[in-house]
C-alpha cells in the first residue's frame, strides 16, 4: 500500500477501517495492473475532479466491488477521486509508459487550476519527483543523448542556411553525432576504464552542447535571441520536446527552458495562453500542433493552438477554448510555467500516441 | 426489505457513508470534560427548529433522534430546574451527528458532520502519548473546534488550568502530527456570557483578543482562529440563545479551502551538471541533496 493512501483516504472515512482500506487498495492494485496508456487520461481527470468521471469512475467502482461486495455504488464521488489518485501514486512506483502518462497528465491538468487539498499537493509532488528521477535514472543507465560538440553543431548549422523542419534537422544531427560517436569509440582506448572515462566526458559534453543547440529554433530557423518571449514560448517548448523525443529522456527541462527564455528579447515575466498562441504565426502554429490527439482539459496550450489554426490564426477562439477547457485564455502565468506546460503537454501527447 | 435509519448518532461506518460523496464538511468538537461540547452540538440542531439560521435552511438529518436525545434535558419537559445536556461517555467512542443544510446564498447543500467525543479522550491525551493516538480522527477533519470553558476562564482559580490544558493538548497534537499548520483549528470560548456583561461586539472582541494572546506562542506552528459562543446562556444574562452559533455555521459552510503549505524545493540527487542546473537557476523549486554547491 502506498504510504500516503491512508492519509488521503481519511477524507472519505475520518475513522479508518483497516479492512476497508486494504480492500480499496486491492481494488487500486487490480485496476492499476490492467491500466492501459490510453486510459490514463481518464484516471488523471477523475483524480483531479474534472468532468463527470466517466467511464473511469464506473470501472474503478467495479474494481472496488469485485474486492468488496458491500461497496455502495452511489454518492461515492470523493471515494473514486481518492482511488484514482491512489492509482496514479501506485503507478509511479514502477516506471512504465503508463506511469509516464499519468505523471505527465497530472502535472498538465494541474496547470492553472486551484486543486486545493493536501492530496493534490502530495500527488503533484510525486509526479514531479517521478519525472525528474526518471530523467536522471535513464541517462545514468546509459541511454544518453548522442554526444555533440561545438564543432559538429557549427558544421551542421552551416550546412543548413535555410533550416529544414525540426524533425528532419534533428534526424540529420542525430546521424552526424552517431557517426561521431562511432569514430570516437574507434579511437578510444581498448581498456574499459578509459572508455568509461571518455563516455562520461562525452555525456557532460553533450549536455553542454545541448544547451548551445537549444539557443536555435529549428522550427522557425531563427535563434531565440531574435524572438520576443510571447513568440518564443510555444516554440521553445516544441524544440525541447523534439530533442527529448530523440534522446529519449526527459532532461532537466526546467533548466533548459529557463535558459531558452533568457535568450529571448524583452523581460515579460507573465504570459497568457492567448498571448503565446497569438505570438506565433499561423504557419508555425500548424507545425507546432502535430498530429497526435489533443485532450482539451489536459492539454490547453495545444488545444488553443488547434483552435487558432481552425480559424486560420484569427483571434476568435477564446470562447471555444474556455468552454472546452474551463480555463480563461487571458489568465497570466509566469512565463516559465506556461512554457513548461506546453513542453509537458508535448511529451504527454507523444506517450499517449506511442 | 427496507432498513430504516435509527436516527441516533452515527458510528464510523455511518460517517463514511456521508463523507464519501465529497460534499461533507467535517467538524470535530474538541475539549475537556464539561467544556460545553454536547451543548454546542445540541444548540446547532435547536437553532434550526424555529427558523432558518441566516441563509442556511435545514434540509435533513440522519441523526434527528440523536440530536433530540442530547436536547431533552434542556427542555421544560425534562422537569429539570436548569437546562443541561447529558455527558458523552468515554465508552461511546466517537459519535457523529449529521445535518444537511441548504445555503440560499450559494445554492449549495453541504452535509455537516459533527464529531463528538468524550472530554476524557482529550484529558487523557494531555498526559499520555498512547491516548493521544485515539484522536487520529482529528487529522482528516475540515475543522477542529477546540472549546475553552468560559465559566472557568471567568474564575481566577480555574482560569490558568484551562489555558495550560489547552496549551498542552495543542502541543501534544502537534507532536503526534495530528494537527499541523494546514489544519483549521478554531479556539471557541464557550459560555462567553460568563465573561461579558453584555453581548456587545467590542466586549466580546476584547475577551477573544485576551484569549488569543495566550496562544501567541503557536503562531509559527498553527493557524488558530478565535471565536466566542454562548450556546445556552445562563438565566438572567442578557445574551440571546445560541449566541455566536450562526457565525460559526457560516464559517463552516463557507469552508474556503486554502492551499496546503507547499513542501520545500525538490531535491536533486545527481552529480551531473545538467541535472544540477535547476538547483542553480531555480532555487525556489529545486535544491541539491545536502545543500551542496
Between B213 and A251, the higher pLDDT residue: B213
Choose among A10, A121, A128: nearest Cβ to B140.
A10
- Choice between A182 and B19, residue whose per-residue pLDDT is larger: B19
Contact B242, B191 (CB under 8 A): no
Asked if residue B55 is part of any domain, the answer here is: yes
Q: Say if residue B244 is in the same domain as residue B272.
A: no
Domains held by chain B: number? 2
The beta strand positions in B18-160, using DSSP E, are 24-30, 56-60, 95-103, 111-116, 143-149
Q: What are phi and psi of B29, to 5 degrees?
A: -95, 110
Same domain, B175 and B280: no
Q: Does residue B4 belong to any structural domain of this protein?
A: no
Quick one: B46 and B183 in the same domain?
yes
Q: Is the pLDDT of residue A184 over 70?
A: no
CA neighbor of B23 nearest in space, from B261, B255, B258, B259:
B255
- Give the mean model confidence (pLDDT) for residues A204-232: 73
pLDDT tens digit sequence for A17-27? 889 999 999 99
In-domain check, residue B3: no
Where residue A298 falls (left for φ over 0; alpha for ψ -120 to 50; beta otherwise) is: alpha
Q: Do B115 and B60 share a structural domain? A: yes
ipTM for the complex? 0.78
B2 falls within a domain:
no
Is the pLDDT at A159 greater than 60, yes or no? no
Question: Do both B279 and B201 map to the same domain?
Answer: no
Report the C-alpha gap between B165 and B31 in whole angstroms: 9
What pLDDT was estimated at residue B129? 83
Q: For residues B67, B69, B72 and B73, what is the CA-based torsion angle, rounded to 10 degrees?
A: -110
pLDDT tens figures, B224-234? 899 998 888 88
Q: Are B283 and B277 in contact, with CB atoms under 8 Å apart? A: no
Q: How confident is the model at residue A45 (pLDDT cuts 50, 70, 90)?
A: very high
CB-CB contact of B52 with B245 (8 Å): no
Q: Examine the pLDDT at A71 and tell me if it is beyond 70.
A: yes
- In this prediction, residues A308-320 reach a mean pLDDT of 85
pLDDT of residue B288: 80
Chain A residue with minimum CA distance to B259: A116
Calculate mean pLDDT across residues A94-111.
91
Q: B244-261, pLDDT tens digit by residue?
A: 889 999 989 887 655 555
Tell me the average pLDDT across A67-92: 92
Domain extent, residue B277, equals: 262-293
pLDDT higher than 60, residue A310 = yes
pLDDT band at A342; cut points 50, 70, 90: very high
Q: B267 and B249 in one domain?
A: no
Q: What percentage of chain A reaches a pLDDT higher than 90? A: 31
Q: Is residue B5 part of a domain?
A: no
State the DSSP H helix or E strand holding residue B186, giving kind and residue range, or none if neither: strand B185-190
Asked whether the beta carbons of residue A10 and residue B139 sit closer than 8 angstroms, the reply is yes
Q: Give A4 to chain B, closest Cα distance, Å.
A: 13
Q: Is residue A150 very low, low, confident or very high in pLDDT (cuts 50, 70, 90)?
A: very low
Cβ-based contacts of A12 with chain B (< 8 Å): 16, 19-20
User: Per CB distance under 8 Å, which residues of A are interface residues toward B?
Assistant: 7, 10-17, 20, 72, 75-79, 81, 114, 116-118, 120-121, 125, 128-129, 132, 135-136, 139-140, 203-204, 207-208, 210-211, 251-252, 254-256, 258-259, 336
What DSSP state is assigned to residue B53?
A: B
A118-127, A193-202, B65-74, B122-131 — which one is most confidently predicted on average?
A118-127
Residues B276 and B245 in one domain: no
* Cβ-defined contact of B259 to A139 (cutoff 8 Å): no
Contacting B residues, span 16-45, partner chain A, CB-CB under 8 Å: 16-17, 19-22, 26
> Using the beta-carbon criterion (under 8 Å), do B12 and A259 form an inter-chain contact?
no
Residue B6 in domain:
no
Low-confidence ranges of chain B (pLDDT < 70): 1-3, 72-92, 256-263, 272-274, 290-293
Q: Is the pLDDT of residue A147 over 60?
A: no
| Mean predicted confidence (pLDDT) in A92-109 | 91
| pLDDT value, residue A197 | 56
SS3 B43: helix
Indicate the pTM of the whole model.
Answer: 0.79
Query: Is residue B211, in this structure, part of any structural domain at all?
Result: yes
* Local structure of residue B33 (DSSP, 8 states): T
Q: In three state form, how does the secondary structure of chain A look?
A: CCCCHHHHHCCCCCCCCHHHHHHHHHHHHHHHHHCCHHHHHHHHHHHCCCCCCCCHHHHHHHHHHHHCCCCCCCCCHHHHHHHHHHHHHHHCCCCCHHHHHHHHHHHHHHCCCCCCCHHHHHHHHHHHHHHHHHHHHHHHCCCCCCCCCHHHHHHHHHHCCCCCCHHHHHHHHHHHHHHHHHHHHHHCCCCHHHHHHHHHHHHHHHHHHHHHHCCEECCCCEEHHHCEHHHHHHHHHHHHHHHHHHCCCCCCHHHHHHHHHHHCECCCCEEEHHHHHHCCCHHHHHHHHCCCCCCCCCCHHHHHHHHHHHCCCCCCCHHHHHHHHCCCCCCEEEHHHHHHHHHHHHHHHHHHHC
Residue B99 and residue B41 in one domain: yes
What pLDDT shows up at residue B111? 92
Residue A217 clears pLDDT 70, i.e. is over it = yes
Q: Which residue of A lies nearest to B19 if distances are taken between CA atoms?
A: A12
User: Least CB-CB distance to A76: which of B20, B285, B286?
Assistant: B20
How far apart are the C-alpha atoms of B137 and B15, rounded to whole Å?
A: 12
By mean pLDDT, which of A8-12, A79-83, A87-91, B286-290 is the weakest? Answer: B286-290
pLDDT of residue A16: 78
Of B17, B137, B258, the CB nearest to A116: B258
C-alpha to C-alpha distance for A77 and A230, rounded to whole angstroms: 40
Specify the pLDDT at position A73: 86
Statement to judge: residues B285 and B245 lie in one domain: no
The rounded Cα A67 to chain-centroid distance in angstroms is 34
Q: What is the CATH number of the domain that holds B242?
A: 3.40.50.300
A306 neighbors A289 (Cβ within 8 angstroms): yes
Kindly report the number of other CB atoms within 10 A of residue B264's CB atom: 9
Cβ within 8 Å, pair B21-A14: no
pLDDT of residue B258: 55
Report the pLDDT averaged over residues A28-46: 93
Q: Indicate whether B276 and B157 sit together in one domain.
A: no
Domain assignment present for residue B217? The answer is yes
Mean pLDDT of chain A: 80
- In contact, A87 and A106? CB cutoff 8 Å: no
What's the CA gap between A64 and A25, in Å, rounded?
9
The C-alpha cell at B273 is 551538471
Residues B281, B215 within the same domain: no
Q: Do A14 and B270 touch (CB under 8 A)?
A: no
The span from the CA of A68 to the CA of A24, in Å, is 8
Amino acid at each position: 500500500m502506498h504510504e500516503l493512501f491512508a492519509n488521503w483516504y481519511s477524507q472519505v472515512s475520518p475513522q479508518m477501517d483497516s479492512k476497508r482500506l486494504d480492500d480499496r487498495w486491492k481494488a487500486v492494485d487490480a485496476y492499476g495492473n490492467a491500466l492501459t496508456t490510453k486510459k490514463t487520461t481518464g484516471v488523471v481527470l477523475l483524480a483531479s475532479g474534472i468532468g463527470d468521471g466517466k467511464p473511469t469512475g464506473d470501472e474503478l467502482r467495479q474494481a472496488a466491488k469485485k474486492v468488496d461486495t458491500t461497496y455502495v455504488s452511489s454518492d461515492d464521488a470523493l471515494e473514486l477521486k481518492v482511488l484514482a489518485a491512489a492509482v496514479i501514486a501506485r503507478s509511479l512506483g514502477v516506471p512504465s509508459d503508463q506511469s509516464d502518462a499519468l505523471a505527465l497528465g497530472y502535472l498538465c491538468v494541474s496547470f492553472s487550476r486551484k486543486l486545493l487539498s493536501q492530496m493534490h499537493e502530495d500527488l503533484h509532488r510525486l509526479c514531479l519527483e517521478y519525472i525528474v528521477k526518471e530523467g536522471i535514472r535513464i541517462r545514468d543507465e546509459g541511454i544518453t543523448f548522442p554526444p555533440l560538440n561545438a564543432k559538429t553543431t557549427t558544421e551542421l548549422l552551416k550546412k543548413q542556411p535555410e533550416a529544414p523542419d525540426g524533425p528532419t534537422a534533428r534526424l540529420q544531427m542525430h546521424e552526424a553525432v552517431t557517426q561521431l560517436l562511432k569514430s570516437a569509440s574507434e579511437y578510444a582506448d581498448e581498456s574499459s576504464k578509459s572508455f568509461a572515462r571518455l563516455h562520461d566526458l562525452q555525456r557532460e559534453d553533450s549536455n553542454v552542447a545541448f544547451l548551445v543547440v537549444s539557443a536555435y529554433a529549428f522550427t522557425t530557423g531563427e535563434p531565440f535571441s531574435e524572438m520576443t518571449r510571447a513568440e518564443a514560448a510555444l516554440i521553445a517548448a516544441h524544440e525541447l520536446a523534439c530533442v527529448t523525443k530523440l534522446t529519449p529522456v526527459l532532461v532537466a527541462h526546467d533548466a533548459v527552458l529557463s535558459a531558452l527564455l533568457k535568450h529571448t528579447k524583452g523581460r515579460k515575466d507573465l504570459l497568457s495562453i492567448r498571448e503565446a498562441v497569438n505570438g506565433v504565426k499561423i504557419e508555425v502554429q500548424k507545425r507546432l500542433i502535430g498530429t497526435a490527439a489533443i485532450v482539451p482539459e489536459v492539454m490547453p496550450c495545444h488545444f488553443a493552438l488547434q483552435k487558432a489554426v481552425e480559424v486560420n490564426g484569427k483571434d476568435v477562439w477564446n470562447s471555444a477554448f474556455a468552454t472546452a477547457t474551463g480555463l480563461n485564455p487571458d489568465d497570466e502565468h509566469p512565463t516559465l510555467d506556461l512554457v513548461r506546460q506546453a513542453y509537458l503537454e508535448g511529451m504527454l501527447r507523444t506517450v499517449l500516441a506511442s | 426489505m427496507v432498513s430504516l435509519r435509527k436516527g441516533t448518532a452515527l458510528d464510523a461506518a455511518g460517517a463514511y457513508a456521508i463523507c464519501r460523496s465529497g460534499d461533507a464538511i467535517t467538524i470535530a468538537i474538541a475539549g475537556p470534560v464539561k467544556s460545553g461540547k454536547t451543548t454546542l452540538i445540541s444548540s446547532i440542531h435547536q437553532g434550526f427548529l424555529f427558523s432558518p439560521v441566516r441563509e442556511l435552511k435545514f434540509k435533513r438529518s440522519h441523526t434527528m433522534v440523536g440530536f433530540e436525545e442530547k436536547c431533552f434535558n434542556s427542555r421544560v419537559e425534562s422537569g429539570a430546574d436548569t437546562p443541561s445536556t447529558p455527558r458523552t461517555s468515554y465508552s461511546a467512542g466517537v459519535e457523529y451527528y449529521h445535518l444537511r443544510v441548504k445555503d440560499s446564498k450559494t445554492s449549495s447543500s453541504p452535509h455537516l458532520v459533527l464529531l463528538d467525543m468524550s472530554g476524557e479522550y482529550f484529558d487523557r491525551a494531555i498526559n499520555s502519548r498512547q491516548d493521544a493516538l485515539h484522536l487520529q480522527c482529528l487529522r482528516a477533519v475540515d475543522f477542529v473546534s477546540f472549546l475553552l470553558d468560559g465559566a472557568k476562564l471567568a474564575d481566577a482559580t480555574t482560569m490558568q488550568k484551562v489555558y495550560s490544558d489547552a496549551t498542552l493538548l495543542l502541543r501534544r497534537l502537534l507532536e503526534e502530527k495530528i494537527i499541523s499548520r494546514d489544519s483549521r483549528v478554531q479556539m471557541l470560548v464557550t459560555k462567553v456570557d460568563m465573561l461579558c456583561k453584555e453581548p456587545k461586539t467590542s466586549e466580546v472582541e476584547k475577551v477573544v483578543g485576551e484569549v488569543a494572546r495566550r496562544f501567541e506562542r503557536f503562531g509559527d506552528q498553527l493557524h488558530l482562529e478565535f471565536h466566542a459562543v454562548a450556546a445556552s446562556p445562563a438565566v438572567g444574562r442578557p445574551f440571546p440563545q445560541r449566541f455566536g452559533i450562526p457565525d460559526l455555521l457560516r464559517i463552516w459552510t463557507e469552508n474556503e479551502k486554502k492551499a496546503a503549505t507547499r513542501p520545500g524545493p525538490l531535491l536533486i540527487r545527481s552529480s551531473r551538471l545538467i541535472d544540477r542546473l535547476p538547483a542553480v537557476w531555480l532555487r525556489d523549486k529545486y535544491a541539491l541533496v545536502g545543500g551542496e554547491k
